[in-house]
Amino acid sequence: MRKISITLICFLNIIYSLKAQEKLPINLKKSSIQWIGEYTFYFGGHEGTINFIDGHFIKNNEKITGGEFTIDMNSLKSTDIDNEKARKNLDDHLKDPDFFDVKKYPKAYLIITKVDYYENNTVRIEADFTIKEITKSINFRATLDYKNQTLKTKFKIDRRRWNVNYTSKMRDGAISDAIGFIVEIGL
pLDDT tens digits, residue range 58-94?
999 889 999 999 999 999 999 999 999 999 999 999 9
- How does pLDDT run across 87-127, given as a tens digit for each residue? 999 999 999 998 999 999 999 999 999 999 998 899 999 99
| Backbone CA torsion sign across 117, 118, 123, 125 | negative
Question: 3-state SS string over 90-106?
Answer: HHHHHHCCCCCCCCCCC
Angstrom distance (rounded) from CA 183 to CA 125: 13
Domains detected in the chain: 21-186 (2.40.128.110)
Name the pTM for this structure: 0.86
| Backbone CA torsion sign across 37, 103, 28, 114 | negative
What is the pLDDT at residue 167?
Answer: 77
| pLDDT top residue among 71 and 17 | 71
Asked whether the predicted pLDDT for residue 8 surpasses 90, the reply is no
What backbone phi and psi angles, to 5 degrees, belong to 9?
-65, -45
